[in-house]
Structure 1
């Protein structure tokens, strides 16, 4: 469910009360553990954490006028979503997360490429999310992103 909100405050105000509590808790976990340099903003109709143009002027390759996205959180119709681009770009980070998840949560991991879905808002592993958020610095994210964007060259 893409929000039309133009600020985090407006996004939060549009949520049902029980979702406000969970999204606010996720926001605080992210803000308390996010390495320096990332910026909170509205991004793609969700609360986003991005590399601002002041640190990465090229922006996002799909829309260079937008800052480089890293993490998004959203209240979707049937779940709370955490989108983490680092998990999508780093097999090592993905493997770490998949291995750690059962230590923090008894429910089955419900995950897409970069999307972690939490259908039960009472079973979100906030401590694990805090660790995940802290694992990638701005510089590391830019390097991962640029490496993933490289086009293989032909060799003679």
Structure 2
């Protein structure tokens, strides 16, 4: 689902009540644990954490006027999507996340390339999300992004 919002607060206010609490908790965890330099914003109609143009002037190669995306959080029809571009771009981080998931959730991991589909609101692996967002600095992400872009 696409929500029209200019701020994270506006985005969250539009969500169903049961989703507001979960998204707010995830947002708080991300904001407290994401390395310095990433900026919270609305990106592609979702909560987003990006590398701002002040740090990476080139922006996103597909749409250079947009900052370089890193993380997103979205309330979708049947799940909350936690999108982590570092998991998609870094095979070691991907494998670590897949291996760790079962330690934090009794349910099977439902994941696409960068999207973790959180379907059970009472079984969100908050501690794993916390650990995951701490694992990549802005400079790590820029280097990984550029290396993958040049392939």
TM-score (norm 1): 0.96
The aligned residue for residue 64 of structure 2 is 64
Segments of 5+ residues of structure 2 without an aligned counterpart are none
Residue 117 (structure 1) shift = 0.2
Q: For 1:93-108, list aligned pairs within 5 A.
A: 93-108=93-108
Q: Deviations over 1:96-130 (max 9, x none)?
A: 00010001101000000000001111111000000
Aligned Cα root-mean-square deviation (Å): 0.6
Residue 9 (structure 1) shift = 1.2
Give secondary structure in 2 for the equivalent of 1:50.
strand
Residue 4 (structure 1) shift = 1.4
The aligned residue for residue 39 of structure 2 is 39
TM-score (norm 2): 0.99
The aligned residue for residue 24 of structure 1 is 24
Q: Deviations over 1:27-73 (max 9, x none)?
A: 01100110000000000000000000000000000100000000000
Mapped partners of 1:93, 1:5: distance in 2: 31
Q: For 1:7-18, list aligned pairs within 5 A.
A: 7-18=7-18
Segments of 5+ residues of structure 1 without an aligned counterpart are 152-156
Provide the aligned length of Structure 1 versus Structure 2. 151
Structure 1 runs of 4+ with >6 Å offset = none
The aligned residue for residue 119 of structure 2 is 119
Give secondary structure in 2 for the equivalent of 1:24.
helix
